[in-house]
Amino acid sequence: MKVIENINDITKPLKNSVITIGNFDGVHKGHQALFHQVIEKADEINGISIVITFDPHPLRALGKAGPPLITRRDQKIELIKRAKIDYILCLPFTKEFAQTEPMDFINDFLISKLGMKAIIVGPDYLFGKNREGNISLLKKEGEKANFSVIVPNWINDTQTGTERISSTKIRNLVIEGKVREVPQYLGRFYQIRGKVIKGRNRGGSQLGFPTANIKLHDELCPKFGVYAVEVECTKGVFKGVANIGYSPTFDDHIFTIEVHILDGFSSDIYDTRIRVNIIERLRDEKKFSSIKELSNQISKDIKKAKEILSNGNS
């Protein structure tokens, strides 16, 4: 598997490639199914599998406000790698690139540079200047240049069988705090990443529950509240409870993500990056009348989180 970030790094044309192109935000079950089809087709023609994606998001490159990303660049590449794709092209999307004529994109890029023999894309795929390129154009050119165009149906939610899996659906579930529903679309729990930074020294000293304070790396933040979580750090994987929001009891109006790692965790993880899998929302944030009342509630949160995380639900 090879990651290419500059198209000029491809010094000689590739051969017999099977390509899919998209933003692939979240790398959800629908995207994973598409990657699987690309790999199958590449095996069938003794070719190579290629995923093309872009950074930044095309909307942002064009100065428009795009949605908060489910997966930023590093995590997206990491997840695509898991699919065992041969080549990942994570290319810079610029205003100049956006002016590429659809025919030039097909002939100069997909065919001449990448040796495309098949392209597999969703039914709504558009490309090139002003998004003028479409499936019909691809099929027309495919007949001339001897490449196939495969347009699979949308992948639906496996539980209902009727609702299309989409990044928008997943994004809305996270924003609404309905994180327990996310895996049926995403294929895993929603994960936030960040660096552990110095907090305000109140978790352990005032509340009796030391916390790791996280400087959020991701754009998509779950609905404020308390969550049962799973923490991945340099010391291993641990169960935990996270508070996301403004800690209204302390009334300091500062946004924080604080994670209390369970079972007596005491390792020093300051200045390290951790990953927090958001398993289930326990409750809203609430302003308590005293620190003691808050501490008692945290004890209840921990008990509930342990039950959730110990019942095979993580």
Q: How many domains in the chain?
A: 2
Over residues 184-203, mean pLDDT: 86
CATH number of the structural domain spanning residue 301: 2.40.30.30
CB atoms within 10 A of CB 55: 19
* Model confidence pLDDT, tens digit, residues 13-27: 899 999 999 999 999
- Judge whether 171 lies within some domain: no
Taking the C-alpha atoms of residue 80 and residue 92, their distance in angstroms, rounded to an integer, is: 17
Sheet holding 48-55, edge to edge: 2-4, 87-92, 48-55, 17-21, 116-120, 148-150
DSSP-derived secondary structure letter, 133:
B
Q: Is residue 256 part of a domain?
A: yes
Whether 176 maps to a domain, the answer reads no
- Residue 205: which pLDDT band, with cuts at 50, 70 and 90? very low
Asked if 8 and 98 sit in the same domain, the reply is yes
pLDDT (0 to 100) of residue 314: 55
Segment 101-116 shows an average pLDDT of 97
The whole-model pTM stands at 0.91
Query: Domain containing 59 — which CATH number?
Result: 3.40.50.620
Shared domain for 10 and 134, answered yes or no, is yes
Which residue has better confidence, 268 or 200? Answer: 268
174 lies in a domain? no
Residue 125 lies in a domain: yes
Q: Are residues 227 and 124 in the same domain?
A: no
Residue 178 located in a structural domain: no
Same domain, 213 and 93: no
- Output the pLDDT for position 93: 92
Q: pLDDT tens digits for 228-260?
A: 999 999 999 999 999 999 888 777 778 999 999
Neighbours of 72 (CB within 10 A): 16
Q: Do 28 and 115 fall into the same domain?
A: yes
Together in a domain, 226 and 108: no
Contact at 8 Å (CB) between 22 and 124? no
Pick the more confident residue, 128 or 249: 128
Model confidence band, residue 204 (pLDDT cutoffs 50, 70, 90): very low
Neighbours of 84 (CB within 10 A): 11
Residues 59-77 have pLDDT tens digits of 888 888 788 999 999 999 9
Single out the residue in 127, 150, 173 at which a domain terminates: 150
- 236 lies in which domain range? 189-310
User: What rounded mean pLDDT belongs to the chain?
Assistant: 91
Lowest mean pLDDT of 19-28, 79-88, 161-170, 216-225, name the range: 161-170
Strand partners, 194: 216, 274
Look at 198 and 201; give whichever has higher pLDDT.
198
Q: Do 138 and 46 fall within a single domain?
A: yes
pLDDT at 65: 77
Residue 183 lies in a domain: no
- 256 shares a domain with 201: yes
Question: Does any domain span residue 103?
Answer: yes
143 and 35 in a common domain:
yes
